[in-house]
Structure 1
């Protein structure tokens, strides 16, 4: 044990970095175990759209949306989601697929939707980047 403290004393930056990485990994693990929404791949999302009449909620900013989006997706920027929950009430029992550009903003939207009582919320893993990489169709608003 004395050697451990000697090592930490001699390599403080390394020890602090290791501790920070460990805490971040544990936090991510706990969050993934406790989350109530599900992850879906682009191919699984297509199956949800075709078989279960899922609704796509795109939480990207308007300039990102204008570059292309999933056909029939509803555009609700993340910052405006709370104001638009009422218009989504009809879809409480339908699968909702939430997407952003890379999958980093979608978890916040998924959490809000789950808290608002939506039953089947899916996060499109890696967002529109994964959708486009899979060669799936996008459309542009006119």
Structure 2
């Protein structure tokens, strides 16, 4: 007990720094999302498949190069036909990231265990100066 009383400030600093180190892991694990740069690494290293869950007219205005368009409203019916290999990482993207987060739950329910949303959506993709193409 004397140790705790004498070193309370060191203990507080250790707990605070441990919490700060642990916090990003908790956030990343619960959100199921990754940065645009993380998405590029998965595409290049693990042949991840990018699925844009926006509506066709939004997709035509500009999308991630090589992405497939499966609108969120049709995801449950059309995703198995669009992405047959469920073992590959599946990256879901939309305009801002909100629809993609909802799509992750649907994809995981369909058996795509490596489904992740690109945080910030196409907006963060463009901000990172990554390639975009128009249909």
Contact 2:33 2:101 in 1 (8 A): no
SS in 2 for 1:91: coil
Q: Is 1:138 matched with 2:135?
A: no
**Aligned alpha-carbon RMSD (Å):** 1.8
What's the offset of the Cα at 1:91?
2.2
When residues 70 and 89 of structure 1 are mapped into structure 2, their CA distance, relative to the original with a 3 A threshold, is closer
The one of 86, 110, 121 equivalent to 1:116 is: 110
Tell me the CA shift for residue 62 of structure 1.
1.5
Query: Is residue 86 from structure 1 mapped to residue 61 from structure 2 by the alignment?
Result: no
- 2:92 aligned partner: 98
Moved over 3 A (4+): 32-35
Say if 1:66 and 1:42 are closer, same or farther in 2 by CA, change over 3 A: same
Q: Which residue of 2 aligns with 1:57?
A: 51
Partner of 2:42: 48
Q: Gaps spanning 5+ residues in structure 1: where?
A: 1-31
TM-score by length of 2: 0.75
**SS state at 1:56 partner:** strand
Structure 1 residue 89: Cα displacement: 5.3
Normalised by the length of structure 1, the TM-score is 0.71
TM-fit CA distance, 1:55: 0.2
Alpha-carbon separation, structure 2, partners of 1:33 and 1:45 = 14
Equivalent residue pairs, number: 109
Where structure 2 has 5 or more consecutive residues not aligned to the other structure, the ranges are 1-26
